[in-house]
Amino acid sequence: MTEKADLTAVLDRAAEGGRITPEEALELYRHAPLHALGQAADAVRRRRYAGTEHIATYIIERNINYTNACVTACKFCAFYAAPKSDKVWTRDLDDILRRCAETVELGGTQIMFQGGHHPDYGVEYYEEHFAAIKAAYPQLVIHSLGASEVEHMARISGVSAEDAIRRIHAAGLDSFAGAGAELLPERPRKAIAPLKESGERWLEIMELAHRLGVESTSTMLMGTGETNAERIEHLRMIRDVQDRTGGFRAFIPYTYQPQNNALKGRTQATLFEYLRLIAVARLFLDNVAHIQGSWLTVGKEVGQLSLHYGADDLGSIMLEENVVSSAGAKHRSNRMEIIDLIRKSGRVPAQRTTTYEHILVHDDPANDPVDDHVVSHLSSTAIEGGTAHPELKILSTN
């Protein structure tokens, strides 16, 4: 174990903006006192955002799940259905466009197009849908998919990953959501997602996207049986790519949800492990601008605490979310509550864009929005058409 004085020296160096090694990050993650870790991470955040360090952001978005058919069968996933299963459904384009319309009506600025690796959906499918969304709602940012979907659609269409990225970007994709990262190191990735591409390949595709002008976020799924060292290795792999491309605008860790999936809750990350990782990520990822707290999986109070452990963003008010909620995440929120959570953490709330520009800073509570319709609707695939358009039907693909 590293001596306490050595840990203090590493924390001080990191808090002052110095780069720490993966070995030092692991020692901090395992042994640094929790409050000292949080203080150092918050010092980094304050320095990075000097002048706006009093602000914490959120975004209004919608996750549009276009199909649950998936050939990948990840063990942690409670959302997917085998392609030939009678549980498979898909949404038609009219349904998707209505959901985009509702997003605009409720002040949303971003959609995440999220679904399974459908055996018939190649590049052409995404080109058609992104082009239709952009034609109808050019103000919406399409922040969607990730390297796993690129690998899959390129294989289905018989084209290169580069061609796939160029084509869907030209059709309307603005930004990759970092989906499919899960755990990047080989052992835990093979344990939970043996049919997915390797972590190295995931990063290769994201690096390619960055070089083609498509930025992204980066994510991490905690609590599926990975070791502390593998968590830090995941961060190292991201930092190495970021050193070359600068294309990851944010890092977003979230926790495994244990219901209705093949892992059956055999392991999970504790809330303290989550907060420690948020803090270490802020210290270690000195080249990634934003750290996002995930209230959806860890709960609102811990999400709020993450703002004191290096996070500068509290994520989204998801007008619809079906994937992690299928595995047991039942936290819901509305715009007024997110604003209140941020304010009670001692920060000024601000609605942001995908690229973190401030749209509206809520610096005066007297001017806060009062529309309680801007609320997260979880597990809305359980309701035909979702909550706002009951006339919409889920279509069988059998």
pLDDT score at 85:
81
Q: What is the pLDDT of residue 391?
A: 46
pLDDT given at position 266: 58
Which percentage of the chain shows pLDDT scores above 70? 83
10 Å Cβ neighbour count for 348?
18
Tokens of 234: 């995941």
Say yes or no to pLDDT of 373 above 70. Answer: no
Q: What is the dihedral of CA 89, 91, 92, 98, to 10 degrees?
A: 160
Which pLDDT score is estimated for 327? 38
177: pLDDT strictly greater than 70: yes
Q: Classify residue 389: in a domain, yes or no.
A: no
Residue 128 forms part of a structural domain: yes
Mean pLDDT throughout 73-90? 73
Give the three-state DSSP class for 357.
coil
Question: How much is the pLDDT for 368?
Answer: 87
Instruction: Give the residue from 39, 36, 37, 32 showing the smallest Cα distance to 2.
Output: 32
Residue 83: what pLDDT?
Answer: 73
Number of separate domains in the chain: 1
Of residues 380 and 181, the one with the higher pLDDT is 181
Residue 158 lies in a domain: yes
The answer to whether residue 26 is domain-embedded is yes
What is the domain range of residue 118?
4-382
What single DSSP character describes residue 222? E
Average pLDDT over residues 7-18: 95
Measured distance CA(78)–CA(323) in Å, rounded: 7
* Collapsed DSSP state (helix, strand, coil) of residue 259: coil
Asked if residue 255 is part of any domain, the answer here is: yes
Any domain includes 396? no
- Could you tell me the pTM of the whole model? 0.87
Strands 290-291 and 175-176: unpaired
**Which pair of structure tokens corresponds to residue 316?**
């989204």
In this structure, what CATH number is given to the domain that contains residue 261? 3.20.20.70
pLDDT at res. 267: 57
The rounded distance, in Å, linking the Cα atoms of 228 and 76 is 19
Place of tokens 């294989």: 155
Detail the residues annotated as belonging to a binding site for [4Fe-4S] cluster: 70, 74, 77
Which residues are documented as binding site?
70, 74, 77
DSSP string, 152-190: HHHHHHT--HHHHHHHHHHHT--EE--TT-S--SHHHHH
Residue 172 placed within a domain: yes
**pLDDT beyond 50 at 331:** no
Q: Which amino acid is at 320?
A: E
In a domain, 31, yes or no: yes
**Averaged pLDDT, 72-79:** 65
Alpha helix positions (H), 63-171: 93-105, 123-136, 147-157, 161-171
Q: Is there a contact between 66 and 394 (Cβ–Cβ < 8 Å)?
A: no
Burial class from Cβ neighbours inside 10 Å (0-12, 13-18, 19+) for residue 132 reads middle
Beta-carbon contacts of residue 176 (< 8 Å; ≥ 6 apart): 143, 144, 145, 146, 147, 206, 209, 214, 215, 216, 217
pLDDT tens-digit profile of 93-131? Answer: 999 999 999 899 888 999 998 887 889 999 999 999 999
Q: Which residue has the higher pLDDT, 55 or 319?
A: 55
147-157 vs 123-136: helix crossing angle, rounded to 10: 120
